[in-house]
């Protein structure tokens, strides 16, 4: 029997001091929730879904009910899930009113033949299966959005420089963070899940890495599981989660995570974090952002958590 392990993260980026305690408490709670299921003998898929749901329902995280707003001031949330045993996985994108995008991703993976569904049609599928709806636009995010727009107007925001030029010539900032979870259950099955509101002030219609298998997440029992956080465009262009998994063919989870982030820094610059989990239940964490808020729980090591500097 394998030693069940879960690792969750609450996003790479710049975690202000005022939010660090609540972020850490949130990832510890999510890891505990997922691990409880693993301890009961449930699957890694159950565990990662439950952990991500916990973070989607916690407004400190940029996912589900805490999603940041796009340039037009509304939520377009993305999520993805992948089963390392079957290598089936699916993503959902551009969701405006599904309370837990991760559950809709699981539904697409398990009940359809597709790997990516977006927008209203995806949400209608969720409704047909009775998934709860919610207003994902929280007053605190609306307030942050107004402030970011003001900074943008003053020219203080410099992420996504081409968008900035576009916005200036036609008529916003990027705080890239996401939540994610990886788990291995007692049968050695790996799973990965992630969920995000995406980068704030993104153009309407923009889809990030989180619902894209290989980019935002990947799981394969033969090698390992990985999930990325940060600027999705980098994760998609470099297919970082698949790269990190492939690296685990010969490296430990930590070596694979570090190698992947070193490569990202070299090829694309800063703005990304990754967590990894190998077939032996060893995890890795690396990022080239100021912080990455994460927690892991396993019987041997107990609960470990950090806002990595
Ligand atoms: N990693 C989240 C996003 O870029 O959408």
**Does 16 score more than 80 pLDDT?**
yes
Q: The domain spanning residue 98 has which CATH number? A: 3.60.20.30
Report pLDDT for 171. 41
Q: Which of 68, 77, 78, 238 to mutate to test the pocket of ligand 1 (most atoms within 8 A of CB)?
A: 78
Q: What is the pLDDT of residues 74-113, one digit of tens each?
A: 999 999 999 999 999 999 999 999 999 999 999 999 999 9
**Does 157 score more than 70 pLDDT?**
no
Q: Which of 55, 209, 227 to mutate to test the pocket of ligand 1 (most atoms within 8 A of CB)?
A: 209
Q: What is the pLDDT of residues 165-193, one digit of tens each?
A: 554 444 434 444 799 999 999 999 999 99
What's the helix, strand, coil split of the chain in %, to 5? 35, 25, 35
Active site residue 98: no
Report pLDDT for 64. 96
- Alpha helix locations (H) across the chain? 17-39, 44-56, 101-111, 119-128, 139-153, 161-170, 232-238, 240-247, 253-267
Report pLDDT for 49. 98
**Does 142 score more than 50 pLDDT?**
yes
Report pLDDT for 173. 41
176 C-alpha to center of ligand 1: Å? Answer: 6
**Does 224 score more than 90 pLDDT?**
yes
**Does 129 score more than 50 pLDDT?**
yes
Q: How far apart are CA 186 and CA 115, in angstroms?
A: 27
Report pLDDT for 159. 56
Range of the domain at 159: 5-163+172-308
**Does 160 score more than 70 pLDDT?**
no
Where on the phi/psi map is residue 47: left (φ > 0), alpha (ψ -120 to 50), or beta? alpha
> Whole-model pTM above 0.85?
yes
Q: Which residues line ligand 1 (CB under 6 A)?
A: 176, 178, 196, 198-199, 208-210, 229-232
Q: Is 237 exposed, middle or buried (0-12, 13-18, 19+ CB in 10 A)?
A: middle
Q: What is the pLDDT of residues 258-287, one digit of tens each?
A: 999 999 999 999 999 999 999 999 999 999
Q: Which atom of ligand 1 is nearest to the CA of 197?
A: 5
Q: How far apart are CA 73 and CA 252, in angstroms?
A: 42
299 C-alpha to center of ligand 1: Å? Answer: 31
Q: How far apart are CA 263 and CA 5, in angstroms?
A: 27
Which of 97, 104, 61, 60 has the alpha carbon at shortest distance from 80? 104
What's the number of domains the chain is made of?
A: 1
Report pLDDT for 161. 63
């Amino acid at each position: 029997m394998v030693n069940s392990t879960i690792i969750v993260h609450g996003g790479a980026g710049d975690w202000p001091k005022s939010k660090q305690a609540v972020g850490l408490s949130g990832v510890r709670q999510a890891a505990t929730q997922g691990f409880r299921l693993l301890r009961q003998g449930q699957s890694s898929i159950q565990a990662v879904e439950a952990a991500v749901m916990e973070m989607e329902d916690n407004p400190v995280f940029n996912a589900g009910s805490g999603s940041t707003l796009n340039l037009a001031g509304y939520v377009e949330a993305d999520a993805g899930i992948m089963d390392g045993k079957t290598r089936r996985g699916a993503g959902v994108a551009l969701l405006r009113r599904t309370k837990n995008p991760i559950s809709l991703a699981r539904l697409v993976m398990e009940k359809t033949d597709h790997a990516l569904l977006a927008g209203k049609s995806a949400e209608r599928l969720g409704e047909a299966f009775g998934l709860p709806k919610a207003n994902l636009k929280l007053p605190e995010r609306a307030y942050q959005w107004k402030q970011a727009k003001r900074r943008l107007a003053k020219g203080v925001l410099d992420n996504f420089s081409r968008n900035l030029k576009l916005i200036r010539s036609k008529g916003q900032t990027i705080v890239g963070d996401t939540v994610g979870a990886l788990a291995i259950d007692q049968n050695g099955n790996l799973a990965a899940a992630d969920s995000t509101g995406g980068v704030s002030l993104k153009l309407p219609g923009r889809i990030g890495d989180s619902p894209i298998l290989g980019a935002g997440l990947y799981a394969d029992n033969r090698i390992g599981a990985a999930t990325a956080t940060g600027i999705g465009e980098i994760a998609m262009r470099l297919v970082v989660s698949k790269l990190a998994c492939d690296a685990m063919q010969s490296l430990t989870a930590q070596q694979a995570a570090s190698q992947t982030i070193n490569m990202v820094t070299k090829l694309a610059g800063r703005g990304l974090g990754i967590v990894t989990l190998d077939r032996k239940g060893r995890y890795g964490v690396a990022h080239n952002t100021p912080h990455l808020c994460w927690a892991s729980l396993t019987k041997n090591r107990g609960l470990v958590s950090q806002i990595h500097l």
